[in-house]
Amino acid sequence: MLPIDYLETSHDPLFVGASLVVAFFASYVTLELCGRVRSAAVKPRRWWLWWAGGSLTLGSGIWAMHFIGMLGFDVGLPLGYRAAPTLLSWIAAVTAAAIALGIASRDRLTGWGMLGGSGSMALAICATHYLGMAALDLAPGIVWRLPWVVASALIAWGASAASLVLQLLLRRTRGKLRILIQLPAAVVMGATIAGMHYSAMAAVQLPLGTICRSVDGLSGYTLAVTVFTVSLMILGGALMLSVRDALARDREAELSRSLKRANLELLEANVTLHRQAFEDPLTGLPNRALLSDRMQHAVARIERQGGAVSGLATERLAVLFVDLDGFKPINDSFGHEVGDDVLRQVAERLKGAVRDSDTLARLGGDEFVALIEAIDAESAAVVLGQRIIDALSRPIRVADLDVSLSCSIGVAVYPDHDHNGQRLLACADAAMYAAKRTGGGTCVTYDPSMSGDTTEQIQLQHALRHAVERGELMLYYQPKVTASDGRVHGFEALLRWQHPERGIISPAVFVPLAERFGIIGSIGNWVIDEACAQLARWDKQVMPCRVAINLSPHQLRSPDLPMRIRNALNRHNVLPAQLVCEITETAMMENIQSERNVLDQIAAMGVCLSIDDFGSGYSSLAHLRNIPARQLKVDRSFVTDLADNADAQAVLDAVMRLAHALHMEVVAEGVETEGQRSVLVRLGCDILQGYMISHPMPAEAVPQWLQALQAYSVAAAK
Ligand code: C2E
Ligand code: MG
Ligand code: MG
SS3 state at 113: helix
pLDDT digits (tens, 9 = 90+) for 591-604: 555 556 889 999 99
CB 584 within 8 A of CB 615: no
3-state secondary structure 127-179: HHHHHHHHCECEECCCEECHHHHHHHHHHHHHHHHHHHHHHHHHHCCCHHHHH
- Amino acid at residue number 98: A
Statement to judge: residues 402 and 442 lie in one domain? yes
Taking CA atoms only, the protein residue closest to ligand 1 atom 23 is: 670
Task: Single out the residue in 195, 226, 246 at which a domain terminates.
Answer: 246
For atom 12 of ligand 1, which residue has the closest CA?
670
Q: CB under 8 Å to 692, separation ≥6 — which residues?
A: 671, 672, 673, 674, 676, 677
Confidence band, pLDDT 50/70/90 cuts, at residue 583: very high
Min mean pLDDT across 8-12, 134-138, 165-169, 466-470 is at 165-169
213 contacts 137 by C-beta, under 8 angstroms: yes
Nearest CA to ligand 1 atom 37: 494
Residue-wise pLDDT for 416-461, tens only, equals 888 888 789 889 998 898 888 777 788 989 887 776 656 677 778 7
Distance CA 670, CA 481 (A): 12
Which value, to the nearest 10 degrees, does the dihedral of the CA atoms of residues 407, 391, 593, 529 take? Answer: -10
Domain holding 549: CATH number?
A: 3.20.20.450
Cis peptide before 415 (omega within 30 of 0): yes
Which residue would you say has higher pLDDT here, 174 or 471?
471
Q: Which of 389-393, 626-630, 678-682 has the lowest mean pLDDT?
A: 626-630
pLDDT (0 to 100) of residue 295 = 92
Per-residue model confidence (pLDDT) at position 175? 67
pLDDT band at 128 (very low <50, low <70, confident <90, very high): confident
Give the end of a domain, one of 217, 246, 275: 246
Q: Which sign does the torsion angle of CA 70, 75, 79, 81 carry?
A: negative
Ligand 1 — pocket residues by CB below 6 A?
Answer: 478, 494-495, 506-508, 511, 527, 549-552, 582, 612-613, 669-672, 690-691, 696
Atom of ligand 1 nearest to the CA of 691: 18
pLDDT recorded at residue 491: 97
Strand partners, 143: 205
Percent of the chain with pLDDT over 90: 31
Q: Are residues 417 and 328 in the same domain?
A: yes
- Beta-carbon neighbours within 5 Å of ion ligand 2: 550, 582, 612
Residue 265 resides in a domain: no
pLDDT for residue 371: 95
pLDDT for res 49: 77
Burial class of 643 by CB neighbour count within 10 A (0 to 12, 13 to 18, 19+)? middle
Distance 508 CA to ligand 1 centre (A): 8
> Which residue CA neighbors atom 22 of ligand 1 most closely?
670
CA 555 / ligand 2 centre spacing (Å):
15
Instruction: Establish if 389 belongs to a structural domain.
Output: yes
Residue 261 lies in a domain: no
**178-226: per-residue pLDDT in tens?**
777 778 778 877 887 888 888 888 898 888 888 888 888 887 777 778 8
Residues 52 and 193 grouped into a single domain: yes
Which one has a higher pLDDT value, 323 or 245? Answer: 323
Residues 6 or more apart from 313 whose CB is under 8 A from it?
Answer: 302, 305, 306, 307, 415
Query: pLDDT: is 39 or 365 the higher one?
Result: 365
Question: Would you place residue 41 in the very low, low, confident or very high pLDDT band (cuts 50, 70, 90)?
Answer: low
- Atom 28 in ligand 1: which residue has the minimum CA distance? 508
pLDDT tens, position by position, 546-567: 999 999 887 887 888 999 999 9
> How close is the Cα of 494 to the center of ligand 3, in Å?
10
What's the pLDDT score for residue 273? Answer: 72
Domain count, the chain: 3
Residue 2 has a pLDDT of 52
Q: Are 703 and 557 members of one domain?
A: yes
Which ligand neighbours the alpha carbon of 523 most closely? Answer: 1
Q: How far is the CA of 634 from the centre of ligand 1 (A)?
A: 13
Q: What share of the chain is helix, strand, coil (3-state, %, to 5)?
A: 60, 15, 25
Q: Would you say 670 and 633 are in contact if contact means Cβ atoms under 8 Å apart?
A: no
pLDDT band at residue 228 using 50, 70 and 90 as cut-offs: confident
Does residue 210 sit in the same domain as residue 299? Answer: no
C-alpha 163/C-alpha 109 separation (Å) is: 13
Q: What per-residue confidence (pLDDT) applies to 577?
A: 96
Average pLDDT over the chain reads 85
Residue 55, pLDDT > 90, answer: no
* pLDDT tens-digit map of 485-495: 899 999 999 99
- On whether both 433 and 505 belong to a single domain, the answer is no
- Is 323 part of any domain? yes
Nearest CA to ligand 1 atom 35: 507
pLDDT of residue 694: 95
- In degrees and rounded to multiples of 5, residue 253 shows phi and psi of -65, -45
Q: Confidence band (pLDDT; 50, 70, 90) for 30?
A: confident
For residue 506, give the ligand nearest its CA: 1
CA of 567 to the centre of ligand 2 (A): 22
Residue 122's pLDDT band, with cuts at 50, 70 and 90, is: confident
pTM for this predicted structure: 0.50
Distance 407 CA to ligand 1 centre (A): 28
Quote the ligand 3 centre to 503 CA distance (angstroms): 23
CB-based contacts of 180-185 (< 8 A; 24+ apart in sequence): 182/28, 182/31, 182/32, 183/28, 185/27, 185/31
Q: What type of residue is 682? A: R
345 assigned to some structural domain: yes
Region 629-654 average pLDDT: 87
C-alpha distances (whole Å) from 288 to each of 347, 354, 421, 457, 471 are 15, 18, 15, 22, 36
In this structure, are 551 and 677 located in the same domain? yes
Q: What does the pLDDT average to over 361-369?
A: 90
Separation of alpha carbons 258 and 261, rounded Å: 5
Distances from the Cα of 27 to the Cαs of 65, 68, 172, 182, 563, in angstroms?
11, 16, 19, 9, 91
Ligand 1 atom closest to residue 635's alpha carbon, by position in its atom list: 3
CA separation for the pair 675, 681 (Å, rounded): 10
The alpha carbon of 548 and the centre of ligand 2 are apart by a number of angstroms equal to 8
User: Same domain for 169 and 63?
Assistant: yes
269 has a pLDDT exceeding 80: no
**Is 273 among the domain residues?**
no
Q: What is the CATH number of the domain that holds 294?
A: 3.30.70.270
pLDDT band at 527 (very low <50, low <70, confident <90, very high): very high
Position 174 scores a pLDDT of 67
**Same domain as 713, residue 664:** yes
Alpha-helical (H) ranges within 72-110 are 83-104
With bands split at pLDDT 50, 70 and 90, how would you rate the model's confidence at 539? very high
The dihedral sign for the CA sequence 87, 93, 99, 105: negative
Distance between CA atoms of residues 193 and 159, nearest Å: 6
CA–CA separation, 487 vs 286, rounded Å? 62
Residue nearest ligand 1's atom 13 by CA? 670
Structural domain ending residue among the three candidates 417, 452, 487: 452
Tell me: pLDDT of 151 over 80: yes
Range of the domain at 692: 478-717
- Do 495 and 370 fall into the same domain? no
How far is residue 396's CA from residue 401's CA, in Å, rounded to a whole number? 8
Is 4 within a domain? no
How many angstroms does the Cα of residue 479 sit away from the middle of ligand 3?
13
Q: How far apart are CA 324 and CA 342, in angstroms?
A: 11
Both 230 and 351 in a single domain?
no
CB 430 within 8 A of CB 367: no
Looking at the fold, whether 133 and 17 belong to one and the same domain comes out as yes
Distance CA 583, CA 565 (A): 14
In a domain, 671, yes or no: yes
Q: What is the pLDDT of residue 536?
A: 97
Confidence of residue 5 (pLDDT cuts 50, 70, 90): confident
Query: pLDDT confidence of 313, banded at 50, 70, 90?
Result: very low
Q: What percent of the chain has pLDDT over 70?
A: 92
Query: For a pocket test of ligand 1, which of 494, 517, 639 has the largest count of ligand atoms closer than 8 A to its C-beta?
Result: 494
Minimum-distance ligand 1 atom for the alpha carbon of 494: 38
Q: How long is the chain? A: 718
